[in-house]
Structure 1
Amino acid sequence: MNVFYEESGSFKVGSVVSKNDASLQVDTQHGKRAKIKAANVLVEFTGALNDFLPAAEALAAEIDLDFLWEVAGGDEFDVQVLGAEYFGHTPTATESAALLMRIYGAPMYFYKKGKGRFKAAPEDALKAALAGVERKKREQAQIDEWVAAMTTGELPDAIRTRLMELLHRPDKNTLEYKAFDAAARAASVAPLRLAERLGGIPSVPDYLMAGFLMEHFPRGPGFPALPAPELPDDLPRAEVAAFSIDDAATTEIDDALSVVTLPNGHKRVGIHIAAPTLGIAPDSPVEKLVFNRLSTVYFPGDKITMLPDELVQAFTLEAGRDCPALSLYVEVDADFQPVSFENRVEIVPIAANLRHDALEAVFNEETLAAPGFGPDYPFKTELVWLWQFAVALEKRRGKYDPNRPVQQDYNFAVEDGRVIISTRRRGAPMDKLVSELMILANSEWGRMLAEAGIPALYRAQTAGKVRMTTRPEPHVGLGVAQYAWSTSPLRRASDFVNQRQLVAMIRGETPAFEQGSAQLFGILRDFDAAYSAYLAFQDKMEHFWCLRWFSQEGVTEPTATYIKEDLVRIDGLPLRLRLPGLPEQLVAGDKIRLAVVRIDELAGEIELRFLGKVGHDDVVPVDEVDDPSEAEAVGAPSHSGHG
């Protein structure tokens, strides 16, 4: 006797060797001895073992599924009964096996209910299942068509329009992803390389920007329609002529300064900060926007502002306007020591917006050392005195070091696809003046808030780690007991929040955020994460433009400065790299000559080879100096060139 049985989802035949109630031993058609469960036996038959399966399979292929489904009706049935109705006679073993094969192979048509028992699928369920099969066939045909096109070097429009999504945030359930992934596997390349090969990445900056926007600005960098702010019209007007000092590209002018001589011979320094909180109501759509964006994003050639231009223009400290401001007035004695502080919420007339490029030519180390402090220029008297005050403040913080190695900072500009990377000395009089006064304002306002018992967002540095906190803690790098970012409310949500708290303190009102505020902790967490991500994106973009600079300028043998171990810094660029295999006798500051072996802009990679030593250098870039005071003070990106 022979048996037709099912095992592991497939049909087999065998010749019975022995049999008991639960199992059988059979010799398969391939001559192997096997033990099978009696419950798996579907049909017993006699005749040639090797001919049975081919005959059953051929007959199964002829069975009309739709007709069989109609014959089955709506009730549960036994396969032998259905076979008799379908064939018109009691089915033979071959017919029974063929029927079982056809039914087992059509789970959309028939549901298994037990051994040899089935039930026809309801009509609606069958139609839906068949439609699904047809849809999958069409989808697979579309996938195959796209794969074939990409295999021949063509990028289908449907793939092109979603290419950035496929590379940065792919939805693996989409047809486009399945096709693109299949094409990449067929070509044995990474998806990014396939996109490059097919011409889908004409611009690396655009590729990097697309990934950043998908992650942090999924609705795009544009702004929704927002109501115009209501500027206060009942503030007292300050009797000062304030001026700002910023990079030429700065549009969000947060801070300005003023100097007035008092009757007692002391000076009164005004640190005036733009006050958007005076025109942006709590819980308003604009405030929600601030807490959603959290910071302006800087990168070479452009920026994504925290606030839309029309709102920025309403509050920016633009020359020739009277602007709402939060002012910290510092009375300073003849020895450049602060003797008192006063806060005011007021209207401040802005007399000038001084720009770095023009000011630095006349206000620098050389002119300050010259007789009469050099040539005349607007606000010279105020600037010279403020620089002297800034030096005193730096000494007061314990950070003054005339022998400190010269520090370099980098500015990036992108014009018509070309990058211009320029260096300038950090710690120059202009930088020192602004940074020291911002440190003073941020530390003193932090102290005042702490003494008033009003929470704020502080920057703290202990054990070399900078972090955000809602409690006043020391910032060791700056040498201050507390440091609350408050001087850039047009550009950072942290400063916006702190300004709300300061205005409430000055006016004696209930602060927007009280001690233990869960919302304040949430803003801190979100701001810290976003600010770090924005800086990382800026670094990534600057890294790309550094790589582009080599090919743009035709530099094939750059020089570099040895830092330590296998770490070097490319001269003229904020680019530090690890270069294995350097000579052991190199010491920090040694100049070395390198050869460019390979640059992969898309992967962000550069490979260099050591050629030899050429000299020594004592200039230290700003990102290798432990004291980040100036960058922390003004809150500007260290390399961006945006103020």
Structure 2
Amino acid sequence: MALERYAGPGCLVEYMQGNQAQVAWVLEESSGRLRLYTLTKREEKMALSRVLPWMGPRYDGARDRSEILEILAACQTRREAAAKAVDALELWELAQGEVREETAQWFAGLVGENPDVDAVAAMGRALLGCKTHFKFHPPKFEVFPAELVERRMVEAAQAEEREKVVVAGQAFFKELWQGWLSGDRKKAQGLAARLDPEAARRLAELLKRLMADAEDAEAATLWAMLRKGLPEHPFQPYILATQWGIVPPHYNYLLDQADYAPGDDWWKPYAPEVAALEAGLAAQAREPEPIAFVSVDSPTTRDIDDAFFAEARVDGGIRLVLALADPALDWDFGGPLDTAVAGRASSLYLPEGTSHMLPEPLGTGLYSLRAGEVRPSLVMEWDFDVAGETVGFSMRKSFVRIAENTTYAAVEAALDAPDAPEHFRLGHRLATVLRQKRLERGAVIIERPEPDIILSGYPESTTVDMGLCPSYPRSQLMVSEFMILGNTAAAQYAVTHGAAMLFRTQDAALSPEIRGIHDDPPSIQRVVRELPPTLTEPDPRPHATLAAPAYAPVTSPLRRYADLVNLAQLESLLRTGSPRWSRGELEARLPELSARIEAVGRVQRFRPRYWKLLYLQRTCRERTFEGVVVDLGGGGYVSLSLPDMQIYVRATRDALGDAVYIGQRYALRLGKIDPLTNELRVFGAEEIPARLPEGAEAFFMNAGGAH
């Protein structure tokens, strides 16, 4: 059977349909157009250009349709069998590197001498089916080079694996979704057990990737195929993952988005560095200063990074000494552990647990200012006159031994006693003066209740309760003012010595209306709305809210990486007279550090809101919640603060009544609460009568009686 050169009547031809070669009988040819009879017993019209470049055999004489079908069927069977016998990969091995492209007839000649049309057609079919190694450019087949074949093989394997995952995952995800809608979590493990292990691994990995980054472009194609038939939901991967059980209930996906490892296992790969720091500190330790420093923290605090001592001066003034934890003493900046710590940026204090910035053996152990232990420290010392003006300041690297770790509650109680310890009494007196001086310079101070989120049964059977954290105004005032004082002094010291720092700045002129102390929700809202954002930059500028000419955080080096960097700058100035880093070097670090601070800060800001909404969701049918109007807004909506929750909600004017004003109080009925999507709605409101000043009610009653 010779290859035909002309597709006239009676000639067998092949064409591609459905990615397969099909054989057909030419009934008629006219000006490059063919009328064909196919195995499907249909006539087709086709351009000659669509016909594959092997034709024949050609049958003379008239044939009826049944005879043509027999011939076509026999030809199709013969060629399919011959194509299966062709080893296309072996042919590629022979041809690659020798020829760039050749015809099917040439390749058939490698297998046998003088191949007939059936052999050529079978060869063409085999090469068409081997798309990873050959590409058809009629009338020839391109032979792919080895590196391209390797890439295409990987892609083909990935496509095959993807198809397996999609087939397995679509039905599985639909079942999971239906289980979530019906509140049934029991079926998930049984459904998962029927999955192919590799498919299950891929599906779990995909959901985790999407929880960490909903815009993951690499996962988008597979996810689009898997979620076909499911309704839109912004947290669908999270819901499927929790329903499946690959993450626990109330999983903190914000940590994944911030690429922040919770707990204290993250540092284990850096254990040799941690051990070296422990050994190095033991070798450098020396006799501590004979000062009875006291730290004041909450009772659960383990990373203690500051302590103070206050005593009277002979002129009636006060001597204040502040000891700061010193993890920068022997820290390898730029080393593997430092890189990991810089990536964490700060510690996280969440209702479900604390994750420290430093490895716990360092942050709550080696460097923490624990009572009775000798610790490296940066010591700041001030002398204040009777009026609270600074008359002396010094700073030094040293070692200290803390006399006592106490709590806000204990200090508050001690200050109530007639024989209050002198260092507490003097510390509180000084802090009061320092705060007043800041207020006179235009400081803005916001005082609001701190909600306490209490979890039990976390994570499997979590119950959320809410309360208010106890307030200890005098002891908390001491700590906050001493920290502001220390950070301001650090900035001034750096400025005096011409050193760059990671300054916190807020260079703006504040209006007189927002200066001072604010403790009611409308006032707080107005202040927050008007205050400009703070920045981190290498140049000293004022911090308007704190009324500080320059401010460089340095008092929390165990908890914040920026403080650790600033501490190292000060230590270098003290040790060598020069800063560790130039302004340009600090500026180069800022983009990455700022991005990490923002990412981790989002977790600290938004995770507590999740728990608050979960509490509201559980209790909203049982009670109302007090809301205070803080913004009349626009578009028919009013903003209210829930002071006890420190959370905001919007309500329509229709829900609140006709006359709505700033400061108005309502008992709110809340509903349609979804902690995951951050949804919270006001379903109803009842106005709470305005509160009268203390004693006013009795006055009005007496006045009424007189009349």
Normalised by the length of structure 2, the TM-score is 0.71
CA separation in 2, counterparts of 1:475 and 1:525?
A: 21
- Equivalent residue number for residue 522 of structure 2: none
Select 2:80's aligned residue among 54, 57, 61.
61
TM-fit CA distance, 1:216: 6.0
| 2:490 is aligned with 1:445 | yes
TM-fit CA distance, 1:461: 0.8
The answer (yes or no) to whether the contact 1:408–1:423 under 8 Å persists in 2 is yes
- Equivalent residue number for residue 185 of structure 1: 228
CA separation in 2, counterparts of 1:173 and 1:53?
A: 46
The answer (yes or no) to whether the contact 2:255–2:262 under 8 Å persists in 1 is no
The answer (yes or no) to whether the contact 2:614–2:674 under 8 Å persists in 1 is no
TM-fit CA distance, 1:392: 2.2
Q: Secondary structure at the match of 1:579?
A: strand
The answer (yes or no) to whether the contact 1:405–1:618 under 8 Å persists in 2 is no
1:394-445 alpha-carbon deviations (Å, 9 max, x no partner)? 2322358999885223343434434443335879222222222221221122
The answer (yes or no) to whether the contact 2:673–2:681 under 8 Å persists in 1 is yes
The answer (yes or no) to whether the contact 1:240–1:259 under 8 Å persists in 2 is no
CA separation in 2, counterparts of 1:319 and 1:377?
A: 23
Compared CA separation, residues 409 and 68, structure 1 to 2 (3 A): closer
- Equivalent residue number for residue 501 of structure 1: 569
- Equivalent residue number for residue 155 of structure 1: 192
CA separation in 1, counterparts of 2:155 and 2:548?
A: 68
1:177-211 alpha-carbon deviations (Å, 9 max, x no partner)? 9987655325556333333444555411x342662
The answer (yes or no) to whether the contact 2:308–2:322 under 8 Å persists in 1 is yes
CA separation in 2, counterparts of 1:233 and 1:56?
A: 91
- Equivalent residue number for residue 645 of structure 2: 573
Compared CA separation, residues 39 and 446, structure 1 to 2 (3 A): same
Q: Which structure features the higher share of strand residues?
A: 1
Compared CA separation, residues 299 and 42, structure 1 to 2 (3 A): same
TM-fit CA distance, 1:454: 1.4
CA separation in 1, counterparts of 2:125 and 2:394?
A: 91
Matched-pair identity in %: 18
What is the identity, as a one-letter code, of the residue corresponding to 1:155?
A
Select 1:598's aligned residue among 672, 689, 701.
672
| 2:581 is aligned with 1:562 | no
Q: Secondary structure at the match of 1:278?
A: coil
Q: Secondary structure at the match of 1:576?
A: strand
1:378-405 alpha-carbon deviations (Å, 9 max, x no partner)? 53x3333333322322232235899988
Compared CA separation, residues 430 and 291, structure 1 to 2 (3 A): same
Counterparts of residues 71-150 of structure 1 (less than 5 Å): 79=104, 95=118, 99=122, 102-103=125-126, 105-107=128-130, 111=134, 115-117=138-140, 140=163, 144-145=167-168
TM-fit CA distance, 1:147: 5.0
Counterparts of residues 321-336 of structure 1 (less than 5 Å): 321-336=373-388
CA separation in 1, counterparts of 2:400 and 2:82?
A: 92
1:584-610 alpha-carbon deviations (Å, 9 max, x no partner)? 632222222333332333434334313
- Equivalent residue number for residue 358 of structure 1: 410
CA separation in 1, counterparts of 2:338 and 2:147?
A: 53
TM-fit CA distance, 1:476: 1.0
CA separation in 2, counterparts of 1:244 and 1:33?
A: 93
The answer (yes or no) to whether the contact 2:53–2:138 under 8 Å persists in 1 is no
TM-fit CA distance, 1:527: 2.8
Q: Secondary structure at the match of 2:403?
A: strand
1:331-375 alpha-carbon deviations (Å, 9 max, x no partner)? 111122222212232333422222123334554xxxxxxxxxx42
Counterparts of residues 478-489 of structure 1 (less than 5 Å): 478-489=546-557
Counterparts of residues 361-400 of structure 1 (less than 5 Å): 361=413, 363=415, 374-376=416-418, 379=421, 381-398=422-439
CA separation in 1, counterparts of 2:206 and 2:107?
A: 53
What is the identity, as a one-letter code, of the residue corresponding to 1:563?
V
- Equivalent residue number for residue 529 of structure 1: 595
TM-fit CA distance, 1:298: 2.1
The answer (yes or no) to whether the contact 1:268–1:332 under 8 Å persists in 2 is yes
CA separation in 1, counterparts of 2:444 and 2:566?
A: 36
Compared CA separation, residues 616 and 16, structure 1 to 2 (3 A): farther
- Equivalent residue number for residue 471 of structure 1: 539
CA separation in 1, counterparts of 2:485 and 2:301?
A: 22
What is the identity, as a one-letter code, of the residue corresponding to 1:243?
V
Select 2:394's aligned residue among 342, 357, 378.
342
Q: Which stretch shows the higher mean deviation, 592-601 or 29-38?
A: 29-38
Compared CA separation, residues 414 and 526, structure 1 to 2 (3 A): farther
The answer (yes or no) to whether the contact 1:237–1:346 under 8 Å persists in 2 is yes
What is the identity, as a one-letter code, of the residue corresponding to 2:491?
G
CA separation in 1, counterparts of 2:209 and 2:480?
A: 44
CA separation in 2, counterparts of 1:454 and 1:90?
A: 86
| 2:609 is aligned with 1:549 | no
TM-fit CA distance, 1:299: 1.6
The answer (yes or no) to whether the contact 1:164–1:210 under 8 Å persists in 2 is no
TM-fit CA distance, 1:487: 0.8
Counterparts of residues 584-623 of structure 1 (less than 5 Å): 585-615=659-689
What is the identity, as a one-letter code, of the residue corresponding to 1:574?
Q
Q: Secondary structure at the match of 1:398?
A: helix
CA separation in 2, counterparts of 1:340 and 1:128?
A: 72
Q: Secondary structure at the match of 2:433?
A: helix
The answer (yes or no) to whether the contact 1:108–1:121 under 8 Å persists in 2 is no
How many residues in Structure 1 have an aligned counterpart in Structure 2? Answer: 597
TM-fit CA distance, 1:38: 8.6
- Equivalent residue number for residue 292 of structure 2: 241
1:290-314 alpha-carbon deviations (Å, 9 max, x no partner)? 4343321222232211222222322
Q: Secondary structure at the match of 2:506?
A: strand
TM-fit CA distance, 1:488: 1.0
CA separation in 2, counterparts of 1:244 and 1:254?
A: 8
- Equivalent residue number for residue 633 of structure 1: none
The answer (yes or no) to whether the contact 1:326–1:344 under 8 Å persists in 2 is yes
Select 2:312's aligned residue among 236, 261, 265.
261
The answer (yes or no) to whether the contact 2:263–2:354 under 8 Å persists in 1 is no
| 2:467 is aligned with 1:422 | yes
Compared CA separation, residues 112 and 237, structure 1 to 2 (3 A): closer
Compared CA separation, residues 54 and 540, structure 1 to 2 (3 A): farther
Counterparts of residues 296-311 of structure 1 (less than 5 Å): 296-311=347-362
What is the identity, as a one-letter code, of the residue corresponding to 1:257?
F
CA separation in 2, counterparts of 1:107 and 1:301?
A: 56
CA separation in 2, counterparts of 1:465 and 1:352?
A: 37
* Structure 1 residues without counterparts, runs of 5 or longer: 364-373, 620-643
Which gives a bigger RCO, structure 1 or 2 (Cα 8 Å, sep 6+)? 1
Compared CA separation, residues 466 and 67, structure 1 to 2 (3 A): closer
CA separation in 1, counterparts of 2:151 and 2:587?
A: 51
CA separation in 1, counterparts of 2:436 and 2:263?
A: 47
TM-fit CA distance, 1:120: 9.2
CA separation in 2, counterparts of 1:415 and 1:607?
A: 26
The answer (yes or no) to whether the contact 2:88–2:130 under 8 Å persists in 1 is no
CA separation in 2, counterparts of 1:402 and 1:617?
A: 29
CA separation in 1, counterparts of 2:14 and 2:116?
A: 17
Compared CA separation, residues 80 and 254, structure 1 to 2 (3 A): closer
Compared CA separation, residues 84 and 419, structure 1 to 2 (3 A): closer
CA RMSD of aligned residues (A): 4.7
- Equivalent residue number for residue 4 of structure 2: none
The answer (yes or no) to whether the contact 1:143–1:178 under 8 Å persists in 2 is no
Select 1:165's aligned residue among 182, 196, 208.
208
